[in-house]
Amino acid sequence: MKRYLISVVGFALLAAAACAQGVEQGNKNAPQFTPAWPMQTRAPAQDSGIQLQVEVLADGLDTPWGIAVLPDGGYLVTERSGALRLVRDGRAGPPIAGVPQVLAQRQGGLLDVALAEDFASSRIIFLTYAKPMGGRQSATAAARAVLSADGTELSEMRDVFVQNPPSPNAMHFGARVVPQGRYLFITTGEHFSNRERQFAQDVDKTYGKVVRVTLEGEAAEENPFGNEVWSLGHRNVQGAAIRPSDGTLWTLEHGPAGGDELNLIERGANYGWPVVSYGVNYSGAPVGSGKARADSFTEPRYYWDPVIAPGGFAFYSGDMFADWQGDVLAASLNPGGLVRLVLEGDRVVGEERFLDGEIRVRDVEIDRDGAILILDNSDGRLLRLTPR
């Protein structure tokens, strides 16, 4: 194993919240917008005083995207180019057989991986991917399969969700998958184009949605619109996790120029895209109505301007970073690094940056012993973080 030390980029938390300074992050893209409540953005900067030891569990990975921690040792890691690999004993094994064909173009490919809650007995896993749909079209899809006991192949592969309609634009797939009880939550994107982004407001299309299906792939009876849609009005949701303390689903969503969001997902809620946003289009032009919020839309629990370009995230649970219980640990692709958010109830009260601007982080998971796992997109590595 390769080990080395890095220092955390920490920031001072001042005693009085009114006087506290947020994390230094540059000029806003949309300075005309103000938060709906104090600390909805640029919460007071924190300094945990921790140094991290970093262990390289695997390198040479091709654009790694998702991680799953196996209960009996090892890790499953997806590569966007289409391979699923078992990482064990300091190396990534050969591609696991039986993975579905993917459209590995632009932002498409093999994306997330998650274990069924009964994986120890069932060996069932879930994958998300860009599914080729004929011609130049593709769709976000989720599949279930059984991983062999030796971790070398998948069997009984079948789709449990395919986004509708297919898109000619291989962008904004979303594609996190989160099992919870008898159901799966699957996040989607709206494929980026000006025409297709409007579908995020259409409950008959699974663009820009959080989808909820049974483990067999059927729309849950309790869903609000009589189909697979659980919530709507999303842009590109690439982070999703269940909060252990209360079982609620939270997501991280890419904004345009500004307006990345942390959302608490509620049944039937509309999060506003592309009608409202705390960001602006990349051209500088207003998004939709030109407003940051409206009464009919659900507010993000937190937003960033400028963006962090979020990937996956996890709620911390473990003994290794004992003071961080319940904190959000989020992947940042730009400027890069790991972002820690301190929560009180359903609101963010502090933010801390690690590895700031050093590496592009695509996913975050918590290891069996409480260590933090991150996927480094800059150099194709699976890294394990522990306190020094």
Q: Where are the domains of the chain?
A: 63-235
The answer, yes or no, to whether residue 255 has pLDDT greater than 60, is: yes
List, in sequence order, every beta strand (DSSP E) within 148-221: 154-162, 177-180, 183-187, 210-214
- How far, in Å, CA of 158 to CA of 144, rounded? 6
The answer, yes or no, to whether residue 297 has pLDDT greater than 80, is: yes
User: How much is the pTM?
Assistant: 0.95
Q: Can you give the pLDDT at residue 21?
A: 87
Residue 15: CB atoms within 10 A of its CB come to: 7
pLDDT range class, residue 13, cuts 50, 70, 90: very low
Q: Can you give the pLDDT at residue 156?
A: 98
Higher pLDDT, 5 or 300: 300
* pLDDT, the chain, mean: 94
- How far, in Å, CA of 160 to CA of 177, rounded? 11
- Dihedral angle at the C-alpha atoms of 34, 36, 42, 48, nearest 10 degrees? 170
For the domain made up of 63-235, the CATH class stated in words is mainly beta
pLDDT digits 0-9 by tens, 184-199: 999 999 999 999 999 9
Written as six digits, the tokens of 86 are 């078992």
pLDDT digits 0-9 by tens, 328-381: 999 999 999 999 999 999 999 999 999 999 999 999 999 999 999 999 999 999
Q: Give the catalytic positions in this structure.
A: 172
Q: Can you give the pLDDT at residue 340?
A: 98
Q: Which residues of 98-121 are buried (b: 16+ CB within 10 A; e: fewer)?
A: bbbebbbeebbbbbbbbbbeebee
Q: Can you give the pLDDT at residue 24?
A: 86
Q: Can you give the pLDDT at residue 192?
A: 97
pLDDT digits 0-9 by tens, 210-253: 999 999 999 998 999 999 999 999 999 999 999 999 999 999 99
Give the DSSP letter string of 224-271: TTSSSEEEB--SBEEEEEE-TTT--EEEEE--SBS-EEEEE--TT-B-
pLDDT digits 0-9 by tens, 21-79: 889 889 999 999 999 999 999 999 999 999 889 999 999 999 999 999 999 999 999 99
The answer, yes or no, to whether residue 12 has pLDDT greater than 50, is: no
Cis link prior to 165 (omega < 30° from 0)? yes
Q: Which residues of 274-295 are buried (b: 16+ CB within 10 A; e: fewer)?
A: bbbbbbbeeeeeebbeebbbee
